C-alpha cells in the first residue's frame, strides 16, 4: 500500500482531473513505453501544431504534482502552445501558474 501521497501522484482528486474538465485525452497506451513508440514520437513532435500540450512531462513531478505521463495531453490551443513553448520551456504548469499570478496582480 503506497498511501495517500503516492496515490495523489497517480490520479487527481474527484472534480480536479483535466479529463473530467473535458480538456484532456490519453493518446495510445497508458504505459511509459508509449513515449518510445512511433505514435508516441509523432505526438511529441506534432501535438503543439494541433493545440495539444503534454500535461505531466518527465522530470517535472515537483512542479506538476504528478508523475510523468507520456500519454496525457491537454488541449490548450495552438496559440497557447506557441506561448508555452517560447516562454516556459514547453511546461504547461509553468505557463498556467504565470497566467494565474498575472490575473491576480
Q: What pLDDT does 49 receive?
A: 97
So where are the chain's domains? 3-104
Q: So which residues are the catalytic ones?
A: 69
Q: What pLDDT does 99 receive?
A: 92
Indicate the SS3 state at residue 93. Answer: helix
Q: Which stretches of the chain score pLDDT less than 50?
A: 7
Topology of the domain comprising 3-104: Muramoyl-pentapeptide Carboxypeptidase; domain 2 (3.30.1380)
- Which residue matches cell numbers 500540450? 53
Encode pLDDT of 22-36 as tens digits: 778 888 888 889 899
Nearest to 18 by CA among 64, 86, 63: 64
Among the residues of the chain, which ranges form H helices? 3-10, 38-46, 61-64, 78-87, 92-104
Amino acid at each position: 500500500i503506497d498511501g495517500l501521497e503516492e496515490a495523489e501522484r497517480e490520479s487527481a482528486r474527484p472534480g480536479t482531473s483535466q479529463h473530467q474538465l473535458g480538456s484532456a485525452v490519453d493518446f495510445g497506451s497508458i504505459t511509459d513505453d508509449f513515449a518510445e513508440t512511433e505514435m508516441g514520437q509523432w505526438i511529441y513532435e506534432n501535438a503543439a501544431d494541433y493545440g495539444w500540450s503534454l500535461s505531466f512531462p518527465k522530470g517535472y513531478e515537483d512542479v506538476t504534482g504528478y508523475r510523468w505521463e507520456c500519454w496525457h495531453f491537454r488541449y490548450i490551443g495552438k496559440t497557447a502552445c506557441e506561448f508555452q513553448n517560447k516562454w516556459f520551456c514547453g511546461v504547461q504548469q509553468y505557463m498556467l501558474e504565470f497566467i494565474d499570478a498575472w490575473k491576480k496582480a
